[in-house]
């Protein structure tokens, strides 16, 4: 029995975008100042590019379904494959709730400051986070063919506000100049 390949390259790219890139990091980068620019470039060169190359090589060399579990099992044996798969699965226990929590808090500010009081409401943040998790779970129980659209929408939802913010920044820079100039000597400080 052969499994149908449901996730394509576009789906995997959007999944990584939803998981890693996003508006939630802008405030942290702004707080760190200009030196954060060099950290992002360093992260891309030292992590994202090698990860992409490794995953591509492993998918080509071991074209089975199962990803990290199968790659570890083939290289190191069934016990290590189990441990790698289990650790990856358990890491998501912490990742998904933090993702849904940041999403439901950011969603409060879509409508200006009208709902900002809910940011400190445990009932709202817990309830809305559980609803988002339930929706994602339901789509994935139906099947990966359906569930992948949740992550694709999440990936696109990360890029659209980022692109709008980038365009607005370029327009503001072109018309009014920089509100916070970044001297070249400030960028390599983090390296």
Domain count, the chain: 1
Rounded CA Rg of the chain:
20
Domain region containing 40: 7-61+143-178
Instruction: Report pLDDT digits (tens) over 121-130.
Output: 999 999 999 9
**Over 60: is that where the pLDDT of 88 sits?**
yes
53 occurs within a structural domain: yes
- Characterize 124-150 residue by residue with b for buried, 16 or more Cβ atoms within 10 angstroms of its Cβ, and e for exposed: bbeebbeebeeebeebeeeeeeebbeb
Cα–Cα nearest to 129, from 98, 106, 89: 98
Within a domain: 172: yes
Q: Which residue has the higher pLDDT, 163 or 20?
A: 163
Residue 186: predicted pLDDT: 64
* For residues 133-151, average pLDDT: 79
Check whether 189 has a pLDDT greater than 60: no
Whether 114 maps to a domain, the answer reads: no
**pLDDT category of residue 19 using cuts at 50, 70 and 90:** low
Stretch 108-129: mean pLDDT, rounded? 87
- pLDDT value at position 190? 47
User: Confidence class of residue 17 from pLDDT cuts 50, 70 and 90?
Assistant: low
Mean pLDDT, to the nearest integer, of 156-165? 77
């Amino acid at each position: 029995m052969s499994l149908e390949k449901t996730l394509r390259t576009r789906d995997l790219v959007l999944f990584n975008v939803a998981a890693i890139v996003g508006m939630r990091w802008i405030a942290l980068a702004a707080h760190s100042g200009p030196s954060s620019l060099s950290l992002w470039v360093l992260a891309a060169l030292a992590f994202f590019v090698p990860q992409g190359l490794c995953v591509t090589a492993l998918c080509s060399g071991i074209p089975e379904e199962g990803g990290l579990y199968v790659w570890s099992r083939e290289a190191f044996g069934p016990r290590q494959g189990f441990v790698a798969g289990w650790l990856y699965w358990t890491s998501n226990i912490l990742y998904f709730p933090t993702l849904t929590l940041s999403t439901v808090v950011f969603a409060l500010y879509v409508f200006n400051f009208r709902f900002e009081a809910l940011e400190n409401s445990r009932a709202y943040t817990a309830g809305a986070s559980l609803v988002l998790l339930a929706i994602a779970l339901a789509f994935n129980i139906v099947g990966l063919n359906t569930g992948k659209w949740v992550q694709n929408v999440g990936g696109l939802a990360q890029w659209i506000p980022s692109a709008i913010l980038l365009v607005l920044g370029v327009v503001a820079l072109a018309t009014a100049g920089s509100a916070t100039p970044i001297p070249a000597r400030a960028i390599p400080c983090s390296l």
